[in-house]
Chain A
Amino acid sequence: MSKPKVAFFDFTSCEGCQLSILNLETELLDLLEIIDIVEFREAMSEKSPVFDIAVIEGSYSRDSDLKRLKKIRETASVVVALGACAHIGGINALRNSQNKEDLMKKVYPDNPFLYETNEKALPISGAIKVDAFVPGCPVDVKEFVRVVKNLVLGKDPGLPTYPVCVECKLNENVCVYELGKTCLGPVVRAGCNAVCTSSGGVCIGCRGLIPNPNINSQKDIMEKYGLDMKRIIDSVNMFMTEDAKGVQ
C-alpha cells in the first residue's frame, strides 16, 4: 500500500492546531511511516500540486478563500477540517453577530477599508464539502492521530457523539456546577478527555455540540445556577457560529 499524500493548509486561524501536531515529536515520526506529508507551511518549504488528504486549519472568512478552498477540494479525495475554526467557525465567529463596518472601524480604526473580510467567519463546510473533522481549540493531538489512522484504515473517524460529562465522570471529577461554576459539558462533544474540567476549568464548548443536544434543558440548568440569558447565549456562542450549531 502506498502511503497517502497529506497536505496541510491554513485559513483564518492562529495556526495553533498545526503547531500542536508538530509538537507530537516522536509520534510524528511514526505517523510519517503511514502518511507522506507533502505540504505543511509551518514545517517545510516544499509544496505539492497533488495530495490525497487535505488537512485544513482556520475558518472561511474572506472572499478570496473560496477559490483556494475549491481548488483544494478538487485535488483532495478527503478533506479534514482541523480544529474549532475549520470545524465550527471558532473564535473568529465571535464577530458574526456584529455589523461588519462597525467592527472594522473598531479593530482597524486608522484604515478600516484596507482589509478584506466577509460578513461572517464560517466553518470550512460553509464553502466546501468536508469529509471528516478533528474538533477542539486546539485539537487533541491523540485524537488527530486516531482520525488519521482511521482514515488510512478506511474506518469511520471514530469521534465520540456523547458529551464531555461522560469523560469528566470517568475522571472522577466533582461536577463544576457543584463548585459554583457553569459549564457546557452536558451538550459539548467529548473526545478531549474532559481536559478543562479535569484541570480546574470549565467546558466552554470548543469542540462543538453533540448531535441532538438538549439545549432547552441546558439553558434551564444554567439559569438555575444563576446565569442570565445573555451570558448563557454568550457562552454558547463563544466558539460556534449560529450556522455551525448543526455541524456534526
Chain B
Amino acid sequence: MTEVLEIQSTKDNVMLGLQKALSEYSIAALTRKGGKVLFDYVDSVDKIELEYTPTVLSPKKFFFPQEEVILEYTLEGKVNTKIEYKKTVLFGVRPCDITGIQILDEAFSESNGDPNYLTKRENSVIIGIDCKSVCDENAFCYKVASQNPEKGFDIMLRDLGNDYAMTIATRKGEVFAEEYFSTFKPDYEALHEFRVQKERAFEEAGGPFEELENLPAIFSENQFHPIWDSEAERCLSCGSCIMVCPTCYCFDVIDELSLSMKIGDRLRRWDACMLRSFAEVSGGENFREEVKNRVKHRINRKFNFLMLKHGRSVCVGCGRCVRSCLADISPVTIVDALTKTSKEMRLEEKNNDLYLPEKAYIRKIESFTDKEKFFELEMENGKSLGAQPGQFILLSIFGIGEAAISVSSPPSFGDRFEIVVRAVGDVTNKLHTLTEGDFVFIRGPFGHGFDENILRKMKGKHLLFIAGGIGYVPLRSLINLTLKQTDLYKKISILYGCKTPEDRMYKDELAYISTLGGNVELLETVDKGDDTWLKNTGVITTLIPQVDFDPEETIAVVCGPPVMYKFVTKTLNDHGIPNSSIYVSLERRMKCGVGKCGHCQIDDIYVCQDGPVFRFSDIEDKEEAL
C-alpha cells in the first residue's frame, strides 16, 4: 500500500465488527481486571475500556512477552525451536505505544530477524486510537514527537463523537476493515477539526525538547555532567523504569529443566540494564557495577546510542518510567539539564574571547630559504601552546591581519614553539621584517591534527612520510615525535621532494636524520639539482618505488602543494596502499579557525575544525578536496 486510506464508520459498527472478529482472532484491549486497568485479552467487546488510563505495562508484551519459551529440548539431545503465537487484534493502542512498536519492529527485524517477535507481529492487526489531548501530567510524548506515528499500526481510529474516522496504513488493515467494518466516506471537516484540536492541545502542553534533533550530541558531550551523580544517588536500581518501558527490549536467557530432569525449556525473560547483575559475568566481574553508569547507559540508549540508530528519540514519552520511579528520576529532567549545560557551554565559548589573540615574543629567527623563515615563539603568559602534531595557529600582526600557520615543533617542546613561514601575503611579509624580541599575537592551536586515535593506529606500522617543499613543515611535528620513539614503529621512511636543494626546509635536521640509520630512512629528491646534489632528481613519486614496504602494514602521511596529492595518492594506490591508510594535511584559506567564517569549507566539512589532517578515504569523494 502506498497511499493512506481515510474512511469512517460508526462506533457501534466498529464494536460489532470486533465482536465478529472474535471468531477468528483473539482480541487484546484496554480492560479492567481485579482493580487494574491493563491491556489484556477480552472475551467480549463490552469489556473494552475506551477511555484511556495509562497502564503499567505497554502492549509490547503481546509481541515480546515478559517470559517465553524459545527452545524445548531433552537431555538426550533432541531440540526444537518454539514460537508461540495466536492471531490477535490489538485494539486501542495509543500513539506513544505505537511509536514504541515501530521502534521494536526495527530493532527486532534488523540483521538477524527475531522469529519469536516477528511471528507474533505478523499475526497481529494493530488498531490504534488517537489521543486528542495529553493523557496525564507525566506523559511527555509531545517533547519527543511521538504523538503522531505514521507506522507501527494497521488502522488508526479518531473519535468523532458517534463515529470513528479511520486511517488505514497497511494492506492488512485494509483487508481487516473490509471484512469487519461497514465504512463510508469520511467527514473530512470533522476529521480536520479533530486534528486541529489535537495539535492545539499538544502545543499547549509544550512543544518538543528544545534541541530534540541534537540530543545525541548533547548527551555525548555531557557524559560527566553532575546530574548523573545526583540521579544515581537517589536511584534504587529497582529496574521498574525498564520493566515498564515500551521500547526496552533486552532479555536474559535461562534453562529450566523439568523436575523429571529429562526434558526442559530454554526461556527468555525481560532483563534490565538498570539491574546490578545485568553486565556481570561468571567469576563475578561486573562491567557496569556503578549505579551511575547504569543510569547513564539507560538514558543514553534512549537519547543517544539508539537514537542515532533509529533516527529518532527511542524514548516515546509515554511517562511510564516517571510514574513508576519512587526516586523521581525523569528523562525530562535529565534532558533539560544536559541541554541547558550544552547551551551554556556554547554561550560560554562565545564569551570566552574566541577572537582575542594572546601576545607571543619572537625568540629566534633563521632564514631557511629566500622566502621562508623559521621563527621560535614564546607566549607572554608563559603557557605552553599544547598543540597536537598537525594543528595550526592563527598569527596576527595588528594593523595587517591574521594568517593560519602550521606549528612545526612536536608537542613536548617546552614553553616555546616553532613555525616556518613563507612570505607570500600581507601578514607573512610583515612577519619577515620583524626581528628577535619583537612580538606578534597568537590564537589557537586549532584544528584536528594527528590525535591519539591516529597515533594509536600508527603503532607497529611502517610510516611513510611524503612531503613536498614547505609541506615538510606541517608534518615535521609528527616526524619528530615518531623519531623520538622509533622502536614504536616497524619502520619510518621520510620521502622529501623540493624544486632545488636550496628550497629544502630544516636542512641541518635533514642532515642529522640521514645519519640515524636503524629503522629510519630519508629519501630526498629535487626537480633540478646543482653540482653538490648527489641524491635523486625527479618528481616525488619516483621515490615511492625505492621504499621497501608491505602495503598492509604501511600508513602514509602526505603534505605538499595541491598538485602533489593527486599523483602521490595514485602512486600509493598503485603500490597497494588503500586510501584508508593515507593521511593528508590540507591547506585552505582560513579566517576564524573555529568553523564559522566559511572560507575553508569543503562540502559539509570545515578544514579548520575537521582537519587539517584527514584520513584520505574520508574525503576522497569530495570533488573540492584536492
Contacts and interface: CB of A to CB of B under 8 A. Distances in A.
A162 B259 contact: no
Main SS of chain A's interface residues? helix
A163 B259 contact: no
A175 B321 CA distance: 12
Max count, chain A CB within 10 A of own CB: residue among B237, B272, B277: B237
Contacts of A174: 36, 56
B582 interface: no
Contacts of B144: none
Contacts of B598: none
B149 interface: no
Interface stretch (B97-105, B238-246, B503-511, B557-565): B238-246
A2 interface: no
Contacts, number: 94
Interface of A: 27, 30-31, 33-34, 145, 149, 152-153, 161-163, 165-166, 168-170, 172-175, 177-178, 185-187, 210-214, 216-218, 220-221
A207 to B, nearest CB: 14
B276 A30 contact: no
B356 interface: no
A169 B236 contact: no
Max count, chain B CB within 10 A of own CB: residue among A161, A172, A174: A172
B259 A175 contact: no
Nearest to B256: A146
A211 B324 CA distance: 22
Given A165-B238, A165-B240, A169-B244, 7 more contacts: A34-B261, A161-B276, A162-B239, A169-B240, A178-B323, A211-B276, A217-B235
Contact of A217 (B234, B243, B261, B276): B234
B217 interface: no
A163 B239 contact: yes
Given A27-B259, A30-B260, A173-B36, A162 B233 contact: no
A213 B238 CA distance: 9
Nearest to B327: A217
B276 A162 contact: yes
Contacts of A165: 236, 238-240, 243
Contact of A175 (B38, B260, B276, B326): B326
A192 B495 CA distance: 73
11 contacts: A33-B261, A162-B272, A165-B236, A165-B238, A166-B240, A168-B240, A169-B244, A170-B243, A172-B36, A214-B235, A214-B291
B56 A169 contact: yes
Contacts of B261: 33-34, 149, 152-153
Nearest to A31: B259
Interface size class of B (residues with CB under 8 A): 20 to 34
A169 B259 contact: no
Given A166-B243, A172-B36, A172-B38, A153 B66 contact: no
A206 B328 CA distance: 26
A33 B236 CA distance: 42
Nearest to B255: A155
Contacts of B38: 172
Nearest to B254: A158
B234 A172 contact: no
Interface in B501-534: none
Interface in B356-407: none
A16 to B, nearest CB: 23
B250 interface: no
A149 B276 contact: no
A173 B56 contact: yes
Interface string B574-595: 0000000000000000000000
A163 B324 contact: no
B251 interface: no
A185 B238 CA distance: 8
Contact of B326 (A152, A177, A213): A177
B270 interface: yes
B229 to A, nearest CB: 13
Interface of B: 36, 38, 55-57, 66, 233-240, 243-244, 257, 259-261, 270, 272, 275-277, 291, 323-324, 326-327
Contacts of B233: 216-217
Contacts of A166: 238-240, 243, 272, 275
Given A166-B243, A175-B326, A220 B257 contact: no
Contacts of B240: 165-166, 168-169, 175, 186
A174 B259 CA distance: 34
A30 B326 contact: no
Given A169-B240, A169-B244, A212-B237, A153 B324 contact: no
Max count, chain A CB within 10 A of own CB: residue among B36, B235, B239: B239
Contacts of A210: 276
Contacts of A149: 257, 259, 261
A187 B286 CA distance: 20
A213 B66 CA distance: 24
A163 B324 CA distance: 14
Contacts of A177: 326
Contacts of B275: 161-162, 166
A186 B259 CA distance: 31
A212 B244 contact: no
A213 B326 CA distance: 14
Contacts of A185: 238
B237 A214 contact: yes
A104 B64 CA distance: 56
A30 B236 contact: no
A172 B259 contact: no
B62 to A, nearest CB: 13
B83 to A, nearest CB: 21
Contacts of A161: 275-277
Instruction: Give the 4 A-B CB pairs with smallest separation, nearest first.
Output: A169-B243, A165-B238, A30-B259, A186-B236
Nearest to B291: A214
A62 B180 CA distance: 73
A53 to B, nearest CB: 16
A131 to B, nearest CB: 17
B283 to A, nearest CB: 12
